[in-house]
Chain A
Amino acid sequence: MANYSTNDFRSGLKVMLDGEPCSILDNEFVKPGKGQAFNRVKLRNLKTGRVWERTFRSGETLEGADVMDITMEYLYTDGDFWYFMEPDTFEQHQADEKAVADAINWLKEQDPCEVTLYNGVPLSVAPPNFVELEIVETDPGLKGDTAQGGSKPAKLSTGAVVKVPLFINQGEVIRVDTRSGEYQNRVSK
């Protein structure tokens, strides 16, 4: 991998730091008129998700990280691993539980997911922003109560539990924002 100097640090650049792949979020050049120059850099550790700031001497270099974001189709899980396929090459990748941890509530077969590969292995998986999932368990709907507020928990086919309006029934398909985990609307079949 190429080396990058602090001058090249841009938001989104992936670098190796202390042996871990990190993504640069922000890079601030700090220099007194008389005195030495530093770069205060905000990073996210791509393995742990930790965000923090570290200061470098200006001109210091870091090795680039072999990290790629690829949109892949989610295939299935065998309980131990979750399988994803690159749509162009049909190449399959298996992600472990740690990699899918943030996405596991929202994975539906054939949905496109953003898979981050580190040295060719899935490091993390991001679900689409919106997914459509079937309700497998909720209290019976209240007829006529379509306009009033109020909500109830509903269990989805993935196991996720979201709050839905009272008029929604078991067996219906709803659209959910995966970033907030909030119900959006009912999907007509």
Chain B
Amino acid sequence: MDWRPNASPEMLRARADLLGRIRRFFATRGVLEVETPLLSSCGITDPSIEPLVVERGTSLNQPRYLQTSPEYAMKRLLACYGEPVFQLARAFRDGEAGARHNPEFTLLEWYRPDFDHHALMAEVAELVCDCLDGRGVHYYSYRQLFLEVLAVDPFSAAPAELESAARDRLDAGTLVGDRDMWLDLLMSHVIEPELAGRGICFVYDYPASQAALARIAEADGVAVGQRFELYVDGLELANGYFELGDAVEQRGRFERDNQRRREVGLPERPLDERLLDALAAGLPSCSGVALGVDRMLMLTTGAADIRDVMAFDWARA
């Protein structure tokens, strides 16, 4: 058992410096810093994200969920006040640990009324360039990137075609799954490493099946989720949406998530009715993004392991 910190004193200073830089960036742009609850009555329905659950305590009449991101609470603020807001928040995701993941981590999340995802990508690029020097910024649509790297159209290829593109390049063993699984596998195992030498890369307009909480629109004759991901030196750093504001459509997506959870044997999650009410009351047209602060610190300091940038990692917490 080691009581000592993971991070060096220089690393702690680099972290404090980064947090200060982020706060100044938003202060000069008139974006309001907010704090929202870490423990919420509702978890999220996304089948690939598991929250940690707090089950005991005299204040609890039902379990509460440690937030996996501050998204829902921030959208409720937006629906009521319509102001641009940002938050530096701790988030928790069960079972995510490795050189790039810690179950507890720091997210920078912000929302911009009147921005679409392209306008927000431009602002993300400004923040990242403010913190990291000497890297060019590139923008690729998801489709363009798959065509360039794999010569496969991710919107029209059959699952079997995606599977053989994957099996040609890596040992996928006994993996079985739907087209989204093969797309995720190709993205994380083939395309992400390809982006490692390209500096700051935005990937936008995902397949509609991966829209999550983003709007769906038509682009080049296909339905796309108006979402983006940011990779810097091949490290996934941020994920943003041109936010879905339609309460009925949102409820439908939550219900489909829960149906998927049932199919794969995961517990269903209660729907966040407060969020749905806020959307029904009217979310201003806006875009939002979540950026991993610990990973940003890995990039500013050149650390190869997320454990090195934390005062105490999961094992030492």
Contact = CB atoms under 8 A, between A and B. Distances in A.
Interface of A: 7, 28-38, 40, 52-59
A68 B177 CA distance: 35
A32 B229 contact: yes
A35 B184 contact: yes
Interface residues of B, number: 31
B181 interface: yes
Given A31-B188, A56-B175, 10 more contacts: A29-B98, A29-B101, A33-B229, A34-B239, A35-B210, A36-B181, A38-B185, A38-B189, A53-B171, A57-B181
A146 B261 CA distance: 76
B96 A34 contact: no
A18 to B, nearest CB: 8
B99 A28 contact: yes
Nearest to A7: B95
B188 A38 contact: yes
Interface of B: 46, 48-49, 95-101, 170-173, 175, 177, 180-181, 184-185, 187-189, 210, 212, 227, 229, 236, 239, 290, 292
23 contacts: A29-B97, A29-B98, A29-B99, A29-B101, A30-B98, A30-B188, A32-B184, A32-B187, A32-B229, A33-B229, A33-B292, A34-B48, A34-B239, A35-B180, A36-B180, A36-B184, A38-B185, A52-B171, A53-B170, A55-B175, A56-B173, A57-B177, A59-B95
Nearest to A30: B188
A37 B173 contact: no
A34 B213 CA distance: 10
B46, B227, B236, B290 — which one has the most chain A CB atoms within 10 A of its CB? B236
Contacts of A7: 95
A102 B175 CA distance: 34
A116 to B, nearest CB: 24
Contacts of B170: 53, 55
Contacts of B173: 54-56
Contacts of A36: 48, 177, 180-181, 184-185
B186 to A, nearest CB: 11
